[in-house]
Amino acid sequence: MKETVFTQKHIALGAKMAPFAGYNMPIEYSGINKEHTAVREGVGVFDVSHMGEIWVSGPGAKALLQYITSNDIDALYPGRAQYTCLPNGRGGIVDDLIVYCFSDTRYLLGVNAANVEKDWEHVCSFAPRFGMTIGSDLVNASESTCQIAIQGPRAMEVMQKLCGEDIMGMPNYTFKTLAVAGIKDVILATTGYTGSGGCEVYAPNESGEGLWDAIMEAGEPFGIIPVGLGARDTLRLEKGYLLYGNDMDDTTSPLEAGLGWITKFNDTKGDFIDRDYLLAQKAAGLKRKLVAFELTDRGIARHGYPICDAAGNQIGHVTSGTMGPTVKKAIGLGYVNAPLFTIGSEIYINVRDRLLKAKVVKAPFC
């Protein structure tokens, strides 16, 4: 099992550790609810070094990314980031990811931990047609890069103490390359996964421990605490953010997953993988869709539970579910067949052969 540069820090802090995406990762330190609340109301810090980083450079970089992603790369400019996904050529999704634009010839892909090798192979498979060379134009920097997420309404105040230039006014989904705590060429991006504000920082592994220690010290007056993957999941779910492998995968289309907003068919986008398939699916109308729901009966929906109609017929399945620490409700996401995927529809979650009433709602939950 792999370790990040921070693994021994997590163990020393008494974190509950567990395997995740091949890494020994902290699930919780002081308790999921406490950590969740700290991020919603103050500031928390996450080790997300298990995530992957792939550099795409050279004259063919923009054309390659325009073809293999669903969003419009032409909308990017240096310092701007974009959420997108990789259609798989069979109507499904290879992965969802963030593209960071440094120039028209240099981009960084931030990909999911469990999909690093899969994504790398997928991107590389299309490189030759765009005249790109693996190892120089395409570089998998995942093993040499650490990533820390500093999240919460006080997060940017903490980080401002460590930065020599203003970061307080950075819009969402932008980034800067700057010195942080005296460490040069750190990428600081406002692309968090909690919906509570903050940033993520990318640095070489050898700078990781010093960066972590500086962030924790700067955050002491703000009550900063380390946060594990358990609270990361409850935080993202309350905001309706999707998790690859749960809420979308190789069998779900971007349109079914509610990602039509990052699937562009405009002229500047041009052709891309699965464009014709997705246009046809959009024209025909979706037969199923990922929805957000709240349970109105007492209980909690979990991944894999059947979703039923009033007669008990299965019409879908739960992909994510929890008791939201902020909203104080049992919430979830799941695929539901037409016509019951419309907002306001009454559905039922089969929890150990008990049909619990739920209602389709609009995300986010808070």
pLDDT, one tens digit per residue, over 252-268 is 999 999 999 999 999 99
pLDDT, residue 103, reads: 98
Contact 334, 317 (CB under 8 A): yes
Tokens coding 318: 């739960």
**Per the confidence metrics, is the pTM higher than 0.95?**
yes
What is the spatial distance between Cα 58 and Cα 131, in angstroms, rounded to a whole number?
9
In whole angstroms, how far apart are CA 272 and each of 57, 265, 303, 364?
A: 19, 9, 32, 29
Checking 20-28 for CB contacts under 8 A at 24+ apart, the result is 20/50, 20/113, 20/229, 21/50, 21/112, 21/113, 21/114, 22/50, 22/113, 22/114, 23/50, 23/113, 25/50, 25/228, 25/229, 26/226, 26/228, 26/229, 27/228, 27/229, 27/230, 28/228, 28/230, 28/231
What's the pLDDT band for 119 if we cut at 50, 70, 90? very high
Q: What band does 12 get if pLDDT is binned at 50, 70 and 90?
A: very high
Which percentage of the chain shows pLDDT scores above 90?
A: 100
Give the C-alpha separation, 330 to 319, whole Å: 14
The residues spanned by each domain of the chain are: 7-50+143-238, 52-128, 287-361
User: Mean pLDDT for the chain?
Assistant: 98
Top CATH class of 7-50+143-238 equals: alpha beta
Q: Which whole number is the average pLDDT over 78-91?
A: 98
Residue 146 banded pLDDT, cuts 50, 70, 90: very high
pLDDT, position 85:
98
At the second CATH level, the architecture of 287-361 is Beta Barrel (2.40)
Q: What superfamily does domain 52-128 belong to in CATH?
A: Aminomethyltransferase beta-barrel domains (3.30.70.1400)
